[in-house]
Structure 1
Amino acid sequence: MRIGFVVYGDLETRTGGFRYDRRLIAGLRERGDRVDVISLPWRRYPRGLFDGLSARLADRLDGPFDVLLEDELAHPSLVGLNRRLRARSDVPIVSVVHHLRCSEARSSPARWCSRAVEQRYLDALDGAICNSESTRTTVERLAGPALQTTVAPPAGDRFDPAIDAREIERRAREPGPLRTVFVGSIVQRKGLDSLIAGLSRLPGDSWTLRVVGSPDADPGYARGVRRQVARLGLGSRVFFAGELADAALADALRASHVLAVPSTHEGFGIAYLEGMGFGLPALASAAGGAREIVDHGETGYLLRPNAPAEIARALRTLATDRGHLARMGGGARERFERQPGWAESTARVRRFLERVVDDATTGNATPGGADAVDGRNGSGPSGTDTDGRGGTDPGETSDTDPGESRADPGVDDGAGVDGKGQERGGGRRVGL
């Protein structure tokens, strides 16, 4: 197949969502497909909506493709462009959905607006590839039962952890503070401020925190976090490492006890899975797809958004009960080993695309409308992404707004799954 793959900005951006896109593209190319990457200018929301008026951008998308894949992050620009394409091309359009913007809570008018835009975007699709059952359920609730969907969870095999149960046990029982690591873009959705607030409630000699991630997506928020650290007098215990190359990040994970990213929402949370590969329990968001890989109290903790008291309780337990830390670390490693690999997920995507293209060619489908094929994706509990794109600090604006915002713990994240990753609810699902 010849595939167009549309993204915002630079495909090499170092976030979980873009890493997912890169691995998917590489896997498709390994199977003999030609994949042409089409990069759209990254617009501040909602400025991207005006891209729908651009004939030049529409021409870029109207290539000799068998199918057009789109990262849903670019939906503000694509919602209008796709409708222009529909008027002149029969090429099916499939979205890669890491998480929906409207899954994040925000002010009611902003949430209504993003929901309306994303619903209109989904209405023009022939299919959606989701990174978790949670993400698929939110897509189906918004798009309705006509849209074909499948789940292709990411793998956490970016590294070769080379760690066993004995090493996890030894590390957990080492004397000294609980070595906590945060990995992700320093944006509000990732909850770094809540993590620091929670840690500040613990005795000063019981923990350290290493922050690994770029501050560039939301400089205002990143500056606010540094001011928070200074105000709380935590400068000797919180270390900002910046963005690390893979080898240095692997060293940081191997040297840590727990990965803590208490996001307000994660479509999947690939960082959790990568940390689990090193035997790190995950302190994770209960909102979204993390529940599909994190078993609360066994391989980590699922916490409500913006809950420093819950964060403090969880980390206090791990700091004071090193036997429990060791058991959770071993369980995390075992869960990591059960995760499907990229080869399996890419093969699932390839079969899904073949079905969508076949339906479009034979006339069995309208946008979003081939016959349903019931069934699970067959992967078992899947999980994580999301990615660290965007966010804005109250009172400050970002020079670059990749389109995230602070979430509200009272919002229904639309997961549609229980804590074990089992399905609830309908939708026209393709079991592949």
Structure 2
Amino acid sequence: MRVALISESFLPTISGVTTSVCKVLEHLAGAGHEAIVIAPAGAPRHYAGFPVHTVPAIAYRQFPVGLPSPHVQRLLADFRPDVVHAASPFLLGAQGISAANRLDIPSVAIFQTDVAGYAARNRLGQATALAWRYVKWVHEGATRTLVPSSASMRDLERMHVPNLALWTRGVDLVGFHPNRKNSPDVTALRQKIAPNHEVIVGYVGRMAPEKQVERFRALRGISGIRLALVGDGPSEPQIARALEGMPVTWLGRLAGSELSTAYASFDIFVHAGTEETFGQTLQEAHAAGLPVVAPAAGGPLDLVTHGENGYLFIPDDERDLRRCVERLVRDPSVRNRMGEAGRRTVLGRSWPTVCDVLMGHYEDVIDERAAIRSMTAIPLYLQR
């Protein structure tokens, strides 16, 4: 199989989109497929043995945003893929889908970033409706759109976006594992964060407006806790002001074994943002054996079963967020029970398993396009 993967985000930028794209490329390489990557400027020239082609980009909130370029159609025409994979299509991905249609190549679009949610959060009024219309236009062009959660599915169904299917995200079940809690690195980090054996409440993700990390202020005054924040981003100054005087350890952006160590050092994982189309860090926390507190909105609704592997708090209700965290802080037996349940929740979601499902979607759209081509090649009088 030949796959052209067009991504709005790629290395060195770290994001959920980047992680998914890298895992898919690694899976394609391991299975012996051929692939190319088209990504914004600044990306490495190769990944997983595949060439990476870049297009001009502009910077937006510390992210490079790929701009439409005639180079995209030329690359697709030269490579002639069996399928185009558009990861979180916006400008670059929309152009890739259009080019694929002109070249009669089927495409799979991954709905991953809530563009319309951004417009709503920033009170952009009519821009919210315009954003949804743009999302609909982009995804209507794809042969199939894969959505990460039931909430996203409902949103796109309300907009009458056709050809939808559910595709979740994978998680590293080896790197994120409860057994890491006993490692010397974790012991040392816990001593650094909580020298008096406090309960560590952790967060992993970008420090950006949509993540709403400033809502951790609701935990002010809860005795016996320490906050540990992993990540960086444009909202750091605002978050620091909101959490001023609270017991916070800023760990910065982490990856690999350092990230695994951070998760293993937490006792509770909290995500406060209400705009997640999925919630990859929630899966990672569950894989690490942590109870999760998240809003009852978007992707977390599929990942957290209230009272079983964590708590879902009322969106935008910081008092309810505080109540949920306090319950876990006060009862270590509940934390342990929910952490074990969280690990069980993700056991069937390894990246190889999830990528195999994706390969099935590739094959489906390729077969569908082949069937259409064969029908158009048959004289009309024979089709009756």
Q: TM-score range by the shorter chain?
A: 0.7 to 0.9
Residue 159 of structure 1 is matched in structure 2 by 175
The question of whether the paired residues in 2 share the 8 Å contact of 1:198 and 1:310 is answered with no
Q: Matches of 1:7 and 1:80 in 2, distance apart?
A: 11
- 1:32-47 alignment, distance < 5 Å: 32-40=32-40, 41-43=56-58
Please identify which structure carries the higher strand content: 2
Residue 179 of structure 1 is matched in structure 2 by 200
Q: Tell me by how many angstroms 1:92 deviates.
A: 1.1
Residues 354 and 50 from structure 1, CA distance in 2 versus in 1: closer, same or farther, beyond 3 angstroms?
closer
Q: Tell me by how many angstroms 1:322 deviates.
A: 2.5
Q: Tell me by how many angstroms 1:362 deviates.
A: 2.2
Residue 4 of structure 1 is matched in structure 2 by 4
Q: Matches of 1:348 and 1:160 in 2, distance apart?
A: 22
The question of whether the paired residues in 2 share the 8 Å contact of 1:132 and 1:153 is answered with no
Residue 91 of structure 2 is matched in structure 1 by 76
Q: Tell me by how many angstroms 1:282 deviates.
A: 0.6
* Residue among 336, 361, 370 paired with 1:352: 361
Residue 351 of structure 2 is matched in structure 1 by 342
- 1:374-413 alignment, distance < 5 Å: none
**Normalised TM-score (structure 1):** 0.72
* Residue among 333, 343, 348 paired with 2:343: 333
Structure 1 residues 289-322: Cα deviation after superposition (integer angstroms, max 9, x where no partner): 2121211122111123332211211111112222
Q: Tell me by how many angstroms 1:199 deviates.
A: 1.1
**Structure 2: runs of 5+ lacking an equivalent:** 41-55, 184-189, 376-384
The question of whether the paired residues in 2 share the 8 Å contact of 1:152 and 1:348 is answered with no
Residue 116 of structure 2 is matched in structure 1 by 102
Residue 74 of structure 2 is matched in structure 1 by 59
The question of whether the paired residues in 2 share the 8 Å contact of 1:127 and 1:356 is answered with yes
Q: Matches of 1:248 and 1:165 in 2, distance apart?
A: 13
Residue 199 of structure 1 is matched in structure 2 by 219
The question of whether the paired residues in 1 share the 8 Å contact of 2:278 and 2:299 is answered with yes
Q: Matches of 2:212 and 2:256 in 1, distance apart?
A: 23
Residue 129 of structure 1 is matched in structure 2 by 146
Residue 27 of structure 1 is matched in structure 2 by 27
Q: Match for 2:27: what amino acid?
A: G
Residue 209 of structure 1 is matched in structure 2 by 227
Q: Tell me by how many angstroms 1:38 deviates.
A: 0.7
Q: Matches of 1:310 and 1:321 in 2, distance apart?
A: 17
Residues 91 and 346 from structure 1, CA distance in 2 versus in 1: closer, same or farther, beyond 3 angstroms?
same
- 1:409-424 alignment, distance < 5 Å: none
Residues 42 and 267 from structure 1, CA distance in 2 versus in 1: closer, same or farther, beyond 3 angstroms?
farther
- 1:195-344 alignment, distance < 5 Å: 195=216, 197-200=217-220, 202-203=221-222, 205-215=223-233, 219=234, 221-230=235-244, 233-234=245-246, 237-337=247-347, 339-344=348-353
**Pairing 1:362–2:371 present:** yes
The question of whether the paired residues in 2 share the 8 Å contact of 1:259 and 1:283 is answered with yes
Q: Matches of 1:165 and 1:240 in 2, distance apart?
A: 20
User: What SS does the aligned partner of 2:10 have?
Assistant: coil
Residue 16 of structure 1 is matched in structure 2 by 16
Residue 51 of structure 2 is matched in structure 1 by none
Q: Matches of 2:116 and 2:174 in 1, distance apart?
A: 29
User: What SS does the aligned partner of 1:363 have?
Assistant: helix
Residues 303 and 328 from structure 1, CA distance in 2 versus in 1: closer, same or farther, beyond 3 angstroms?
same
Q: Tell me by how many angstroms 1:211 deviates.
A: 0.5
Q: Matches of 1:76 and 1:246 in 2, distance apart?
A: 30
The alignment covers a number of residue pairs equal to: 343
Residues 143 and 365 from structure 1, CA distance in 2 versus in 1: closer, same or farther, beyond 3 angstroms?
farther
Q: Tell me by how many angstroms 1:59 deviates.
A: 2.6
Higher relative contact order (CA 8 A, sep 6+): 1
Runs of 4+, deviation exceeding 6 Å: 164-167
**Normalised TM-score (structure 2):** 0.80
Q: Match for 1:253: what amino acid?
A: Y
Q: Tell me by how many angstroms 1:79 deviates.
A: 3.0
Q: Match for 2:94: what amino acid?
A: V
Residue 137 of structure 2 is matched in structure 1 by 120
User: What SS does the aligned partner of 1:36 have?
Assistant: strand
The question of whether the paired residues in 1 share the 8 Å contact of 2:58 and 2:66 is answered with no
RMSD: 3.0
The question of whether the paired residues in 1 share the 8 Å contact of 2:57 and 2:66 is answered with no
Aligned-pair identity in percent equals 21
Residue 47 of structure 2 is matched in structure 1 by none
**Structure 1: runs of 5+ lacking an equivalent:** 367-432
The question of whether the paired residues in 2 share the 8 Å contact of 1:282 and 1:300 is answered with yes
Q: Match for 1:209: what amino acid?
A: L
Mean CA deviation greater in 322-331 or 206-215: 322-331
Q: Tell me by how many angstroms 1:80 deviates.
A: 4.7
The question of whether the paired residues in 2 share the 8 Å contact of 1:194 and 1:307 is answered with no
Please identify which structure carries the higher helix content: 2
Residues 181 and 160 from structure 1, CA distance in 2 versus in 1: closer, same or farther, beyond 3 angstroms?
closer
